[in-house]
Amino acid sequence: MNHRGGLVVWAIILIPVMLAAQIPGYGTEIESRIDAMVAQMTLDEKIGQLQQYAGGESAEHREMAAAGRVGSFLNVRGAESTNALQKLAVENSRLGIPLMFGLDVIHGYKTLFPIPLAEAASWNPELVERAAAVAAREARACGIHWTFAPMVDIARDPRWGRIAEGSGEDPYLGATLAAARVHGFQGMDLSAPDRIAACVKHYVAYGAAEGGRDYNTTEVSERTLRDVYLPPFAAAVRAGAATLMSAFNDLNGIPASANPFTLTDILRHEWGFKGFVVSDWNSIGELLNHGIAADSAEAAWRALSAGIEMDMEGRIYKNALPGLVERGLVSTAAIDEAVRRILRIKILLGLFENPYTDPDLEKQMLRTPENLAIARQMARESIVLLKNDKNILPLSRSARVAVIGPLADRQQDLLGTWACEGEAGDVITLLQGIRSAAVKPDLVLHARGCDVLGSDRSGFKEAIQLAKRSDVVIAVVGESADLSGEASSRADLALPGVQEQLVQEVAATGKPLVVVLLAGRPLTIPWIAEQVPAILMAWHGGVQAGSAVADVLFGDYNPSGRLPLTWPRTVGQVPLYYNHKNTGRPTNEQKWSTKYLDWPITPQYVFGFGRSYSTFAYSHLSLDKNEMGPRAMLTVSAVVKNSGRVAGDEVVQLYVRDLAGSVTRPVKELKGFKRVYLEPGESRKIEFTLGPGELGFHDAHHRHQVEPGRFKVWIGPNSAEGIEGDFCVR
């Protein structure tokens, strides 16, 4: 048998096994082990598995661990600390059931990557997966078994600070990256020493918070829930996600942490989810604030019966479940089912066989050159070139450069929101990166000009004088990390403080000016967008941010980032997203159409937008059929040519529109994308296939199907441009 034949045989044997290992679920051996364990457990020990506590350093925590009354700790870091607590559970408790250690490893453990929204701007699922795998390798080496990531909340409102943590506004891009991160964290075997369990959050529609205010009410129709907010979760579950986390928000009157429709009907009955759900921090206890539970007992009853297995730091289950069982309001079968789901993940993680972490691993796995190289590449590919008039970029390495602005030489902020175990000292700032790339570093000078916040302009003079003595000015402005992320919603999306005024005064010197934005969200910059010739969005780019920005500024990397969101001109336009409905009065800038009197209805930059140092031309759109049945597949292709002078990546995007349906349909929907690297003058035919998965939607009865009718299709560089075709579904 030749090598190939042997491979085929092994593939036939191994793939089903590996898939079973990847997807938390049945395997008779695992289920038998669970049966035997549950049969031995007391009610107290069972309820103990449903508890997660933060910290683990108190005497009470240690006592509970030693008594087998803790399922998991979060925020315990390092092999030494986790091993000490694990020893109590494994060697002191009656049954020796190991603990799971969870942590918010959202965009890196020690090697911090760009924030997830920035990673989404790379439109590179393979690289996103590699970044998650690095995070898993570093975290598991430090005793962490479980990350509270990926955060996959669709966000159409940048006032919401947590837009930074997700993949933006689009369900297709969001679903693709959700699956990539689950694969990166979990691999094919959760028990491997470099993998961790994923926890897809926040289930569900947390990003639809009214007013963009974190934790606020969400009202989302079932169809919008199914076509916009659920797809990334469904993709993550299909990818084998071990756990989910329920959200804080009131969802259509039933809080997401006590919602049987989403947690049981959809997640378990429709999707067949076999893992477990952990609440968000005391989100079960918050059911009292929501006014959906009169007391802790009712909160516990509602959450457990809806489908929450583990109570994060709320102590609601700990205090209320024994009484509920005693009163017959919660069955032991319900408790057993919750315990089984948790034990299943602990078994898949290999914790019974290997409960401890080798303390030497930390030194081997953290900040390796390979990890840093991946962080630099991710930061490079996340940078979006928004404008480059007169090709002011790339810069000459021997230029006299004035680097101005409060964020130019700040390390902590580049770690972004959820800095985990990242250390500010590891961060290469933009000033450091630019100096390292310059031929004459001593010609790269810096003036802060102002702070991120506040009205103090006393530093303007120094900045302006420095600008006048330079060949080019790079203004590094934006948000500090603490203006982004959880509990950091902003009602005004302008540059904070007097940063815009600093840019305006520096611009008035007439020197060539580049603005580099560092933020966790799009900022409203109408004046800068109009007046400044070159603009980069570099987000909060992680430990390698400064090197990556310098790579782009000096042309060592041709920028390829594309916006994963719609960028508003003013906050009054929000929510603003590309896959909107047409309405009965589509905007035509005439009076009686949907628009504003005082601002355009168009965004500053459209979804999928990003420039390059090269240019790309699209031609030869081709469909292999113009008419098809509802179950058929359609192949659509176009030729993309690098019509510029430098090589680079183009993100080729495919959009469709269902012109008439049984319900109103978006004017455009992303249904495919491919990154392609092209040398100058090189052309490539890029193909996509469209079928029920892409053309279907939830109709008036919430059935997912493809309806007959006419469709348009575009292949292009973003959601506003492209070559167009059409086809018909019979």
Helix (H) or strand (E) holding 331: none
- 311 touches ligand GLC by CB under 6 A: no
Binding mask 428-467 for ligand GLC (x = CB under 6 A): ----------------------------------------
> How far does Cα 594 stand from its chain's mean position?
32
* Contact with ligand GLC (CB under 6 A) among 145, 183, 195, 201: 201
Nearer to ligand GLC, 281 or 673 (CB): 281
What part of residues 693-722 is at the interface with ligand GLC (CB under 6 A)? none
Among 172, 281, 605, 711, binds ligand GLC (CB under 6 A): 281
Residue whose tokens read 């009202």: 219
d(CA 253, CA 364): 49
Cβ of residue 201: shortest distance to ligand GLC, in angstroms? 6
- For the CB of residue 155, give the shortest distance to ligand GLC in the complex, in Å: 14
Determine contact, residues 216/210, Cβ cutoff 8 Å. Answer: yes
Smallest distance, Å, CB 54 to ligand GLC?
8
Measured distance CA(232)–CA(564) in Å, rounded: 14
Q: How many CA atoms lie within 13 A of 311 on its CB side?
A: 32
Q: Is 413 a catalytic residue?
A: no
CB of 564 to ligand GLC, least distance (A): 19
Show the CA angle centred on residue 666, arms to residues 172 and 579, nearest 5°. Answer: 55
How far apart, in whole angstroms, are the C-alpha atoms of residue 657 and residue 670? 9
Task: Report in angstroms how near the CB of residue 74 gets to ligand GLC at its nearest.
Answer: 6
CB of 72 to ligand GLC, least distance (A): 11
Task: List binders of ligand GLC among 15-74 (CB under 6 A).
Answer: 74
DSSP 8-state code for residue 415: G
Establish if 280 lies at the interface with ligand GLC (CB under 6 A). Answer: yes
**Which residue lies nearer to ligand GLC by CB, 296 or 488?**
488
Give the residue with the Cβ less far from ligand GLC, 265 or 486: 486
Q: How far is the CB of 247 from ligand GLC (least distance, A)?
A: 8
Q: What CA–CA distance (Å, rounded) separates 79 from 87? A: 12
| Coil vs helix vs strand at 619 | strand
Q: How many residues bind ligand GLC (CB under 6 A)?
A: 7
Task: Determine, following the binding rule CB under 6 A, whether residue 577 of this chain makes contact with ligand GLC.
Answer: no
**Structure token digits, residue 389:** 């008039």
For ligand GLC, the binding residues in 84-103 under the rule CB under 6 A are none
| Residue 148 found at the interface with ligand GLC (CB under 6 A) | yes
Identify the CA nearest to 624 among candidates 581, 685, 665, 569. 685
Q: Which of residues 104 and 119 has its CB atom nearest to ligand GLC in the complex? A: 104
Contact call for residue 172 and ligand GLC (CB under 6 A): no
Nearer to ligand GLC, 148 or 609 (CB): 148
Instruction: Copy the structure tokens of residue 456.
Output: 């103090």
Q: Is 486 in the site for ligand GLC (CB under 6 A)?
A: yes
CA distance 337 to 309: 9
Helix-helix angle 171-186:125-140, to 10 degrees: 40
Least spacing, CB of residue 116 vs ligand GLC, in Å = 12
State yes or no: residue 104 binds ligand GLC (CB under 6 A): yes
Q: Site mask, ligand GLC, residues 504-543, x = CB under 6 A?
A: ----------------------------------------
Nearest to 675 by CA among 643, 650, 704: 650
Q: DSSP characters for 195-263? A: --B-EEEEETTGGG-GGG-TT--B---HHHIIIIISHHHHHHHHTT-SEEEE-SSEETTEEGGG-HIII
CB-wise, 206 or 697, nearer to ligand GLC?
Answer: 206
Nearer to ligand GLC, 73 or 697 (CB): 73
649 phi, psi to nearest 5 deg? -95, 140
* Chain center to CA of 84: 33
Cβ nearer to ligand GLC, comparing 79 with 106: 106
- For 55-99, list the strands marked E by DSSP: 72-74
| Residue placing its CB nearer to ligand GLC in the complex, 314 or 541 | 314
Under the binding rule (CB under 6 A), the answer on residue 649 touching ligand GLC is no
CA distance 650 to 96: 54
Residue 562 beta carbon to ligand GLC: minimum distance, rounded to whole angstroms: 26
Please tell me the distance from the alpha carbon of residue 637 to that of residue 619, in angstroms, as a whole number.
9
Shortest separation between residue 151's beta carbon and ligand GLC, angstroms: 6
DSSP string covering 465-498:
HHHHTSSEEEEEEE--GGGSSTT---S--BPSTT
Q: How far is the CB of 104 from ligand GLC (least distance, A)?
A: 5
How does 114-124 read in b/e, with b if 16+ C-beta sit within 10 Å?
A: bbbbbbbbbbb
Q: Which is nearer to ligand GLC, 74 or 636 (CB)?
A: 74
Catalytic residue among 250, 280, 426, 649: 280
233 binds ligand GLC (CB under 6 A): no
State the residue number with the nearest CB to ligand GLC: 148
Give the nearer residue to ligand GLC in terms of CB position, either 176 or 283. Answer: 283
Contact by Cβ (8 Å): 551, 437? yes
How does DSSP assign 100-136, residue by residue? Answer: EEEE--SS-SSSPPPPHHHHHTTT-HHHHHHHHHHHH
Residue 215 Cβ vs ligand GLC, minimum distance, rounded to whole Å: 9
Residue 697 near residue 172 (C-beta atoms within 8 A): no
222-to-228, 229, 252 alpha-carbon distances in Å:
10, 10, 9
- Angle, helices 231-238 vs 171-186, to 10°: value is 30
Q: Which of 72, 24, 76 is nearest to 49 (CA)?
A: 72
Nearer to ligand GLC, 101 or 148 (CB): 148
Q: What residue type is assigned to position 165 of the chain?
A: E
Q: Can you give the binding site for ligand GLC, defined by CB under 6 A?
A: 74, 104, 148, 201, 280-281, 486
Residues classed as catalytic: 280
